[in-house]
Amino acid sequence: MVPFKEHFLKPESAPFKSATSLQKVIRAGGKHNDLDNVGYTSRHHTFFEMLGNFSFGRYDKAQAIKYAWDFLRNELEMPVDRLRVTVLNSDKESYDIWKNVIGLPEDRIIPLTEEDNFWSMGDGEGPCGPCSEIFWDTRDMDASDDERWLEVWNLVFMQNFRHADGTLSSLPTLCIDTGMGLERMARVLQSKQNTFQIDQFQTLVGGIRDLLKSENLPNTNDEDPSVHEKIIADHLRSMSFMIGDGIIPSNVGRGYVLRRIIRRALRSGRQLGFKEPFLTRLYPYLTANFGTEWYPELSARAETIQNIIQSEETIFFATLEKGLGLLESVFEQPKLQNQKEIPAETAFKLYDTYGFPLDLTVIIAAERGWHVDLQEVEKLQDKQRSQGRESWKGGDNLAKGRLSEWRNQQIFPEFTGYDHSLLHQESQIVAVDVDTKAKTPQVLLSIDPCPFYGMGGGQVPDAGSITLANGQEWDVVDVFQPYEGGLAMRIQPKTNTTFSQQLLQDEEFLKVGNLVKTNVDVRLRQGAEIHHTATHLLNAGLRRILQADVVQAGSAVEPARLRFDFTYGKPVSSKQLQQIEDWINEVALTDAKTKTRHFPLQKAIDAGAIAVFSEKYSDLVRVVEVPEVTKELCGGTHVTSLRQLYPFKIVSESSVAAGTRRIEAIAGPACIEWYRNEYRFIPPVLNAVRANSSSELGPKVDKLSTQLRDTQRQLSHVTDKLAQADPGLPVLSTLYKDHKVKVHQIDASLDGGFMLQRANYLKEHQNEDIHVLVSNHTVMVAVNPKSVRDVTAQNVSLTL
C-alpha cells in the first residue's frame, strides 16, 4: 500500500509494528487501470474497498500466510477444495510454507513468473517484492480461466527495493503488505455470480431500474444487471467518492480520470435511453448504502457532489449534440464512403477539442458500419502527451530524477526555517549536483541544517542567498523537495561573471563538507507567511459564512497575494464575500496567536484538523491552529500573530471549472499597497464627475449613466426619423438591366446602423430601383428581390 511506503523503507520509524486497514481505492488510471473492464467482467470495479493487514518487521512470510489461511478457513469457513494459491517461481520459501506448513497439495500451489507474482509501486523506484495470491474456484466451467478463478487475497512480501535503473537490492527488514477486496469476498460468501449481484449493489441497481421505469424506458428485473447498469452503478460510486475527497473534473491528472468516469457512465445512460441528466437522481440510492455511518462525507457534501456531477452532465449532453453533428458531416463526405473510416485526425479532434469520448465515436461508427484507426489516434494522443510533458516538466522534475541518489545516500537535511532567528545561520553542504547541460546552467545543493522553505503546500519557495567560505555570494533561485524528506536548492552566481567562470573560481568551496552562511529573504518570507495564514482564515470563513462543507481544491500562496480554489456549486454572492472579508478582518484585529503542534495523523483528524486531499501526510503531522478559529494540517510557514494580516481584501471571485470557485485576496502590507494604488484613480474621477468626495461618487455616476441612456434613446429616435426621411435626389443615377441605379451619399459622421436603416427604407419605398449607398470607404447595395427579380444582390456591403 502506497501510504505505508516510507515504513517499508524505514520500519523502525513506523509508529506501530503491525496494522490492519479498510481503505477506499480508485483503480482507473496508471499501472492498475480497470476502467475499460468494468461492466464486461464479473469482478472489476473502478472503486472498491480494500481490506489489508501489514507488518513492519513484526512477523515473517510464514506468519502472514498462516494468518491468511486461518482467516479464510476458520473465520469465513471457505472450503479448502475451492482454494488455490500462486507463488513466484523463484520464491522457494513461500512454496515450502504452503506445502509443508499449511499442508496444501502441490497441485494447488502454482508457481508463476514475475509478470504475475511480483508486486511494485508503478514503474518507478520503490519497495517491492514477490507475492502469493489466493484464488477462489467459482466452478464456472464455461468461463475463461480469468473469470473462473477469482483472486481474493494478495500477500506481498516487501523484501526488495527497485532502483531507477531497474536493478533490485534487498531491504534490511522484511515487511508484509496484503490486500483483500471487500466486494469480491462478499460475492464469495453470498454465493453470487459476480460482484454486481451482492447486497451492496442491489439498492443502486434498483434505483437505476426505478428511474428507467419512471422514464418509460426498457428495463428488466433480472438478477444480473446489464452491462450499462453495471457501469452506471460502479461509476456513480467512483465519481461520488472522488468528488467527496476533493477531486474536481478537469482535463489533466486525477481530474481527467474523474471526467472520463463520469462521461463513461453518461454514455451508458444514453445507451439505456436517457436523453438528459440522470446521475444526480440516483445519488440518494448511493447515500442509502454508504452515506451514513461509514462514509458520512457523502451526505455532508451531498450538495457539492451533486452540483459538480450535474454540471458535468449538462456539459456532456451539450457536447454530445455537437459531436453527433460533426460525426454526421463526416459520414456524408463522398470521399470517405468507400473506405468507411473516420480519419484519426477527426476522431482525435472530436475528443481533444470538443470532449467527445473516443469510445463513443467508435460505437457510433460501428453502428454505421464504419471504423476508426485507434492506433493512429493513439499516436496523436501520444504526440500531444509528450508535448505536454515537455511543456510542464521543467527543471524541477528533471532535477528530481538527477537527485534520486541523494535519498539512497540518506540526505535528509533538517528544516529550521520555522524559527525566524535561524534564517541567517551557518550550515554545511551535504550534497552537490552541478548541471552544466541545463538550458540555464545551475548548481543543485543540499545543506544541513536548511532554513530555506521549499516543501510545497501551495506556498512559494523561499529566495535569498548563501555565502561561501571564500566570501562569494550565490543567489538561491529555487528550493524544492526532490523526494520525501529531502531539500534541494537551485543556486546561481550573484556576480556578473559567466556561470562557468564563477564555478571555476568557487568550485573548491562548493564541495560536500564546506560551510556556508544562509540569508533567507525575510521580506518575501513574511509576505508568504501573511498570505498563508490568511488562506487558512479564508477557508474557515467560507465554511462559516456559506454554512457548507467547503473542500479545498488548490491554492497558491505568494508574498503579495493568495489564490484559493474550493468546491462550491454556485457563485459566492457579493454580500457573502463582504461577510467573509469582514469576519477575517475582525479576527485579525483580535491579534490572536497561531499555535503549531505535532500529532499522530489520525489523532489530528479526530480532533477536527482539516486535511487537504491532494496532500500526502506522514504519520506524524504538523497542525497549525488559531484557537476557536481554524485548525489545519500544514507544513507551511505562518505568522505568529493575526494582527499582521490586517487589512484583508477579497479582490475577485470567479469560476475555474464546473463546481469549483476561485477567490483571490491580499492581506497586510500588500493590501495597504493595493488600496494606495486604487486610491490614485479616485481624485481624477471625482474631478471628472464634479464630486467633492468618494461618498458622492456613486450617486453622481448613477445620474450620469441615466443621462447617457436618455441621450442615447433620443439620438436613436432622431436617427430613425432621419433614416426614413425623403432622401432627396441621388448624387448619381444610371441604368442597369432597365432598372434605375441611384447612388446616395451618406454622411460619414452617421454610424453603420443608420446606413442599414436607410437601405431598408429605400428597398421598401423605392422598390423598383437599385440603390447604392456610399459612406466614406463603405458601399452598400440595396435591392428589393420581389420587385427587381433579375438582380440578386441584397444588402451587399463592400468596404473600399
Q: What is the pLDDT of residues 12-21, one digit of tens each?
A: 878 889 999 9
The b-or-e profile of 258-269 (16+ CB within 10 A means b, else e) is: bbbbbbbbbbbb
Residue 794 has a pLDDT of 46
Domain with CATH 3.10.310.40 in the chain: 724-799
**CATH 3.30.980.10 applies to domain 525-679:** yes
With a cut of 90, say whether residue 592 has pLDDT above it: yes
DSSP 8-state class, residue 9 = H
Q: Residue 532, annotated ligand binder?
A: yes
| pLDDT band per the 50, 70, 90 thresholds, residue 754 | confident
Using left for φ > 0, alpha for ψ between -120 and 50, and beta otherwise, residue 39 falls in left
Asked: is 724-799 a CATH 3.10.310.40 domain? The reply is yes
Task: Count the Cβ atoms, other than its own, within 10 Å of residue 298.
Answer: 21
Distances (CA, A) of 36 to 92, 235, 792: 36, 11, 57
Query: Mean pLDDT, to the nearest integer, of 767-795?
Result: 79
Q: Give the number of other CB atoms < 10 A from CB of residue 33.
A: 12
Number of C-alpha atoms within 13 angstroms, CB side, residue 466?
31
Annotate 513-539 with b (16+ C-beta within 10 A) or e (fewer): ebebebbbbeebbbbbbbbbbbbbbbb
* Per-residue model confidence (pLDDT) at position 613: 64
Per-residue pLDDT of 545-554, as tens digits, reads: 998 778 888 8
Domain 2-196: CATH architecture, name and number where available: 2-Layer Sandwich (3.30)
Does residue 727 have a cis bond before it (omega within 30 degrees)? no
Q: Residue 796: its pLDDT value, please?
A: 46
On the 0-12 / 13-18 / 19+ scale of CB atoms within 10 A, 442 is: buried
What is residue 798's predicted lDDT score, i.e. its pLDDT? Answer: 44
Q: Which of 131-135, 273-277, 514-518, 522-526 has the lowest mean pLDDT?
A: 273-277
As a whole number of angstroms, the distance between CA 205 and CA 197 comes to 9
Lowest mean pLDDT among 369-383, 388-402, 508-522: 388-402
pLDDT band with cut points at 50, 70 and 90 for residue 384? low
Per-residue pLDDT at 389: 42
For the stretch 24-44, pLDDT in tens is 998 886 555 678 789 888 889
The predicted model gives 369-386 an average pLDDT of 81
Domain with CATH 3.30.980.10 in the chain: 525-679
Rounded to whole angstroms, the Cα distance separating 38 from 9 reads 34
CA–CA gap between residue 667 and residue 674 (Å, rounded): 9
Distance of alpha carbon 800 from alpha carbon 798, whole angstroms: 6
What pLDDT sits at residue 488? Answer: 94
pLDDT greater than 90 at residue 325: no
The answer to whether 98 and 68 have CB atoms below 8 angstroms apart is: no
Range(s) within the chain of domains with CATH label 3.30.930.10: 2-196
Q: How far apart (Å, rounded) are the C-alpha atoms in residues 622 and 601?
A: 9
Q: Give the whole-angstrom CA distance, residue 237 versus residue 395.
A: 38
Q: Please give the pLDDT value at position 59.
A: 94
How many C-beta atoms surround the C-beta of residue 509 within 10 A? 17
pLDDT, greater one: 612 or 608: 608
Q: Three cell numbers at 738?
A: 432597365
- Who has greater pLDDT, 87 or 304? 87
Average pLDDT over residues 554-558: 93
Report whether 671 belongs to an annotated binding site: no
Query: Which residues of 90-148 form beta strands (DSSP E)?
Result: 109-112, 118-120, 126-137
Reported as a pLDDT band with limits 50, 70 and 90, residue 559 is: very high
Please tell me the predicted confidence (pLDDT) of residue 799. Answer: 42
For residue 439, what is the DSSP state?
S
DSSP state of 71: I
Taking the C-alpha atoms of residue 774 and residue 764, their distance in angstroms, rounded to an integer, is 19
What distance in Å separates the CA atoms of residue 738 and residue 791, rounded to the nearest whole number? 11
Helix (H, G, I), strand (E, B) or coil at 225: coil
pLDDT of residue 792: 59
Residue length, the chain? 800
Say whether pLDDT at 395 is over 50.
no
Tell me the per-residue pLDDT of 509-520, one tens digit each, with 9 for 90 and over: 999 999 999 999
Q: 453-506 pLDDT, tens per residue? A: 998 888 999 999 999 999 999 999 999 998 888 999 999 988 777 888 888 889
What is the pLDDT, as a whole number, of residue 795? Answer: 47
Task: Give me the mean pLDDT over the 742-771 stretch.
Answer: 85
Q: Which sign does the torsion angle of CA 176, 182, 186, 192 carry? A: negative
Q: Cα–Cα distance between 714 and 505 in angstroms, integer?
A: 78
Q: Is 32 annotated as a binding residue?
A: no
Instruction: State yes or no: 228 annotated in a binding site.
Output: no
pLDDT of residue 391 exceeding 70: no
pLDDT tens sequence across 51-95: 999 999 999 999 999 999 999 999 999 999 999 999 999 999 999
Task: Give pTM, 2 decimals.
Answer: 0.67
* pLDDT for res 186: 95
Residue 268, classed as helix, strand or coil, is helix
DSSP assignment string, 494-524: SSSS-HHHHHHHHGGGGSTT-EEEEEE-HHH
Q: Compute the mean pLDDT over every residue in the chain, rounded to the nearest whole number.
A: 87
Confidence band (pLDDT; 50, 70, 90) for 793?
Answer: low
Looking at the chain, the domain(s) classified CATH 2.40.30.130 span 403-519
Q: State what percent of residues in the chain have pLDDT above 70.
A: 94
Q: Which fold has domain 403-519?
A: Elongation Factor Tu (Ef-tu); domain 3 (2.40.30)
Percent of the chain beyond pLDDT 90?
48
| pLDDT tens track for 629-657 | 999 999 999 999 999 999 999 999 999 87
User: What pLDDT score was predicted for residue 578?
Assistant: 97
